[in-house]
Amino acid sequence: MEKHNEASKKHKIRLTSVELSSLWNTYMSDSVTTCFLSYFLEKVEETEIKQVIKLALNQAQKQIERVTQIFKEDKIPIPHGFGKDDVNTNAPRLYSDTFFLNYIHQMSRIGVLLHGNYLTLSARSDIRSLYNDLLNFSRETHNKATEVLLAKGLYIRPPYIDVPDEIHYVRDQSYLGGIFRVARPLNATEITHYYLNIQSNNLAKALLMGFSQVAKSEELREFFIRGRDLCKKQIQKFSDLFSKDNLPVPMSWDTDVTDAKDSPFSDKIMAFHVASLMSITVMNYGGSMAVTFRRDLVAQYATLMDDFLRYAEDTANIMIKHGWLEEMPKANNRDELVRV
């Protein structure tokens, strides 16, 4: 692999747009992660959870260093991202140790998905090497967080269903359901995605609940409350379908948010984190729609996705208004270049 990396440097193989966007997104997300995990590490009390936070923080810092080195070698401007000015580790505790662990568990799962995607889309050998390592780091963190959740009895398992005693085939169109038909019970894949979407909304809801308490701007406080209520509405939609099929609904994380009022995070980093979570949620919903057979569920996902897209756009508008939205590298505007 080292020989391939040296060859890439020798021949100065340019980064593709996909590789550039992957590196840019990685740098930005890891700069957010280091801020949050630095604060978590300062507040955590339980030893086992502290070790998971240290592992995740160490990996995020190493990832930033490696991406920064690639930017320097390829003479690409290093994004501003986020840093010490965006976190106050001396602020009071805003979330519980259990939240810290669940946060890392959820974010490392997202890391596995994104890094795997970046790996398969990259051509240059050094970039593939980077994302192969980052994929392994995310997998290691996720496994460690899972082990601690299980050991502490905190792991929220998906619902169990009975295993069929024989193979069945779909015989008619009723399997696809409809808006006015009596719908069949959820199948295993549909349950899986509903469970994942409830969990991701629980994370976003708890974060937004905390953000709404500590944001310095009244505009941001009201905006975060709106986001909290949006997540609550979506969780209820998914939970109603679980209840209809007599499946257990995963518990919320609301009790993991304290009554703190002093902010550990800048309004800028909180707005960016919310925008990132909305993007991930829309991606999750799109994937869920692709593997869902019931027409009524597909229609529901489309409606819920539209709600999040509107909220994500409003988040972007707020960031633009305050000068917080750092611009990703973009293609040249050829029409602008030919104007005299």
Q: Is residue 59 part of a domain?
A: yes
CA distance 56 to 137: 8
Residue-wise pLDDT tens digits, 227-269 = 999 999 999 999 999 999 999 998 889 999 999 999 999 999 9
Is the model's pLDDT at 161 over the cut of 70? yes
Range of the domain at 72: 14-151
Average pLDDT, the chain: 92
313 and 190 co-located in one domain: yes
Q: What's the rounded mean pLDDT across residues 165-179?
A: 85
For the four alpha carbons of 264, 270, 274 and 276, in that order, the dihedral sign comes to: negative
Q: Is residue 174 part of a domain?
A: no
Q: Is residue 334 part of a domain?
A: no
Q: What is the pLDDT of residue 153?
A: 94
Q: What is the pLDDT of residue 228?
A: 96
Q: Which residues, in sequence order, are CB contacts of 158 under 8 Å at separation 6+?
A: 191, 192, 195
Q: What's the rounded mean pLDDT across residues 135-159?
A: 95
Q: What's the rounded mean pLDDT across residues 22-40?
A: 97
31 and 145 co-located in one domain: yes
Q: Is residue 327 part of a domain?
A: no
Q: Which of 3-7, 68-72, 196-200, 293-297 has the lowest mean pLDDT?
A: 3-7
118 and 226 co-located in one domain: no
Q: What is the pLDDT of residue 340?
A: 54
Q: Is residue 201 part of a domain?
A: yes
Residue-wise pLDDT tens digits, 197-224 = 999 999 999 999 999 999 999 999 999 9
Q: Is residue 18 part of a domain?
A: yes
Q: What is the pLDDT of residue 178?
A: 66
- CATH number assigned to the domain comprising residue 295: 1.20.1260.10
Q: What is this structure's pTM? A: 0.91
Total domains in the chain come to 2
Q: What's the rounded mean pLDDT across residues 130-144?
A: 97
Is the model's pLDDT at 43 over the cut of 70? yes
Q: What is the pLDDT of residue 329?
A: 81
pLDDT-derived band at 286 (thresholds 50, 70, 90) equals very high
Residue-wise pLDDT tens digits, 1-23 = 555 455 545 557 899 999 999 99
219 and 147 co-located in one domain: no
Q: What is the pLDDT of residue 6?
A: 54
Q: What's the rounded mean pLDDT across residues 98-122?
A: 96
